[in-house]
Structure 1
């Protein structure tokens, strides 16, 4: 603004040399110079200069506050400044220049290029994955699926064959089981079936290392009934009498450990069809009168089961066993033939001890030829010697019977 003021026409040097935003020392110097009220002609000249100053194009671009401050520093009062400001023409808004700035370049090509790159990467990756899948993974998956299918079909065929063989086996076993003897439901063990007393039964169990709890209940009850009938003139025992005999022979039944086994004895006695209960102690005696309490006394007897009818298979086996000839009772030793041969050879040697003496020369072939009898004896000796050696070397098997 100082340059613009200095270049204005009719502007005094002191006025033009002080811009609006000059240093404070300059402004103080100017205000000190105009501190005295000027003369009227100087006042009119100051207004003329201020008016010319305000009409300069450079000063018109400044804002009104800067203009008022500069005029007040030059010594003008508020009324004069207000009048000079009214004289200024109305400020027309500045028209922007016709040369507008160039807009920034568009980002669309860069965006399209980036999208094209991303799309190319996606397409390339998808192509690589598809190639790997079709060339590497798909053959293996197909081979695995085919192997699983073949393995499954093979297993199904094996299972079908197994089911067919099981069905055939079941049918054949049912056909074979039809001719086999049926097991007896209340059969006594073979070791206890021959015992006729409780003592004999306990002795047999002791020899076989069998505990009392493992002894057959049917055998125990049968032996108890047999013992009671021996001492009571063929009278059937009652329930209390039967268990008294068992407890007398087996004290273990009275203990807590033997209570379950005693309960098993009672269950067998009451459920097994081999034990028959009657209200009379003997078959030919009348029924006993029930006691006053109303409980009927039962007397027990053992009815042995009838022998089962032999099946066709058992009959065939029995007929086959009877048709086979029994071996002879006398047993021959496998070395009997060898012993007989040695005995004969010993007897022969004993008889040859008294043969006439033969000279030494004749033994070595220097004498005349032997007579036919001696030559025959020598042949027999050689044959017997070979027979003995063969018997010793090739002995028959001891498991075979001599013919």
Structure 2
């Protein structure tokens, strides 16, 4: 709080404190005590010490110090606790001083660092953009352009192929229309050929069973025709009513009564009521259709009229009639060779036991017509035997 040069704490203020040389720092020795009077001298020293201490405490720079530092300094100078307490009570109430205005030094500006960072950022962005643009224009753009060009060429090629296909389809339709004009038109209510010859339900069901055809696959016209035919056989050629037709069908085919056969039975009724081959009449024997207001009770079957032959059918019939029919006697392509071999075998058999006659072959020898024919046949047979492998067919190898 104070050093040896003054009775106060060292401060930076230019105000000088009273010299501390006047304050006794040591007790008087025995020699000095014997020379001076003891009691008056001690009281004067204490008063002077208290006066200096009081003046010391009233200094402005000392008043700003804390109480603990002041007490410690006064104890070091030789004052006791009672004197220190008295001096402290004598001091006026200290008003807290307003601290001097001390503004902290502003930190250095971050603007250069910020500008440098922004410059680096923009440089990286510009450099990266330039690199990406270079890669795009040098690597990616040519490939993308080539891809789009290839797609365009493929699309144009596909369009040209589709146009050619449409043109060929149109030409095919025209040719089919021209060819179909001369073809016979299909009959709308044609029965299968396997069921046309059946005149009864039993024969029809047997034929369907032979061909492994289910009841739902049998022609509805054939079923209704055979049912009407069976009913007419047992009722003196009377046409049946609607319920009688279905009674015959249900009697022969019990499957129609089940839930699975109900849709097929409905289909049979639609065929009976819409097909022009089945004619309704008000009476059991009259084929005349009913007039308005009369109930439809009886059904009959009218066979379809054969369609007139078309020009193509007529030309094919004329062509087949003009072709000669093959004769019942069939001629084999090897018949002549077989006949020659038979004649040659007979000749050899006839000449086998004939007497030997020396052959006279030479420029002056003459042979009869029979010998000449035999000689020719021998030469032909010899040629066939020598060349038989050339004319034989190659044996086909069969997989084992």
Tell me whether the two structures share a fold, i.e. TM-score over 0.5. yes
Unpaired segments ≥5 residues, structure 1: 19-25, 27-36, 87-92, 288-293, 397-403
Contact 1:181-1:310 within 8 A present in 2 as well: yes
Q: Is the partner of 1:147 in helix, strand or coil?
A: helix
Q: Is the partner of 1:5 in helix, strand or coil?
A: coil
Aligned length: 352
Q: Using the alignment, how far apart are the partners of 1:110 and 1:182 within structure 2?
A: 97
Deviation of 1:187 after TM superposition, in Å, equals 0.9
Q: Using the alignment, how far apart are the partners of 1:95 and 1:127 within structure 2?
A: 59
2:289 matched to 1:283? no
Question: What are the within-5 Å matches in structure 2 for residues 372-383 of structure 1?
Answer: 372-373=366-367, 379-383=372-376
Listed one character per residue, the Cα deviations across residues 172-227 of structure 1 (whole Å, up to 9, x for unaligned) are: 32333333222212111111212333343344334333344433232233233334
Q: Is the partner of 1:209 in helix, strand or coil?
A: coil
Deviation of 1:334 after TM superposition, in Å, equals 3.4
Q: Using the alignment, how far apart are the partners of 2:216 and 2:268 within structure 1?
A: 10
Distance change (3 Å), C-alpha of 1:111 and 1:179: same
Give the TM-score of the pair, scaled to structure 1: 0.66
2:152 is matched with 149
Q: Is the partner of 2:367 in helix, strand or coil?
A: helix
Contact 2:232-2:238 within 8 A present in 1 as well: yes
Listed one character per residue, the Cα deviations across residues 306-333 of structure 1 (whole Å, up to 9, x for unaligned) are: 1112223323333333333333333223
Distance change (3 Å), C-alpha of 1:45 and 1:352: closer
1:90 is matched with none
1:62 is matched with 62
Question: What are the within-5 Å matches in structure 2 for residues 127-142 of structure 1?
Answer: 127-142=130-145
Q: Using the alignment, how far apart are the partners of 1:274 and 1:95 within structure 2?
A: 129
Q: Using the alignment, how far apart are the partners of 2:62 and 2:307 within structure 1?
A: 145
1:122 is matched with 125
Distance change (3 Å), C-alpha of 1:318 and 1:208: same
Q: Using the alignment, how far apart are the partners of 1:45 and 1:201 within structure 2?
A: 159
Distance change (3 Å), C-alpha of 1:38 and 1:314: farther
Q: Using the alignment, how far apart are the partners of 1:81 and 1:283 within structure 2?
A: 155
Question: What are the within-5 Å matches in structure 2 for residues 308-387 of structure 1?
Answer: 308-353=307-352, 355-359=354-358, 371-373=365-367, 379-387=372-380
Contact 1:72-1:78 within 8 A present in 2 as well: no
Deviation of 1:278 after TM superposition, in Å, equals 1.6
For residue 184 of structure 2, the aligned residue among 176, 181, 186 is: 181
Q: Using the alignment, how far apart are the partners of 1:388 and 1:264 within structure 2?
A: 76
Deviation of 1:263 after TM superposition, in Å, equals 4.2
Deviation of 1:384 after TM superposition, in Å, equals 1.4
Q: Report which stretch shifted further, 47-56 or 271-280.
A: 47-56
Unpaired segments ≥5 residues, structure 2: 8-16, 28-37, 93-97, 394-400
Q: Please tell me the root mean square deviation across aligned C-alpha atoms, in Å.
A: 4.9
Q: Using the alignment, how far apart are the partners of 2:208 and 2:113 within structure 1?
A: 107
Deviation of 1:247 after TM superposition, in Å, equals 4.9
Q: Using the alignment, how far apart are the partners of 1:386 and 1:222 within structure 2?
A: 74
Deviation of 1:304 after TM superposition, in Å, equals 1.0
Contact 1:338-1:388 within 8 A present in 2 as well: no
Q: Using the alignment, how far apart are the partners of 1:77 and 1:252 within structure 2?
A: 138
Contact 1:278-1:299 within 8 A present in 2 as well: yes
Question: What are the within-5 Å matches in structure 2 for residues 173-322 of structure 1?
Answer: 173-247=176-250, 250=252, 252=254, 255-256=257-258, 260-283=263-286, 298-322=297-321
Listed one character per residue, the Cα deviations across residues 105-129 of structure 1 (whole Å, up to 9, x for unaligned) are: 6555444444443333333333322
For residue 170 of structure 2, the aligned residue among 164, 167, 170 is: 167
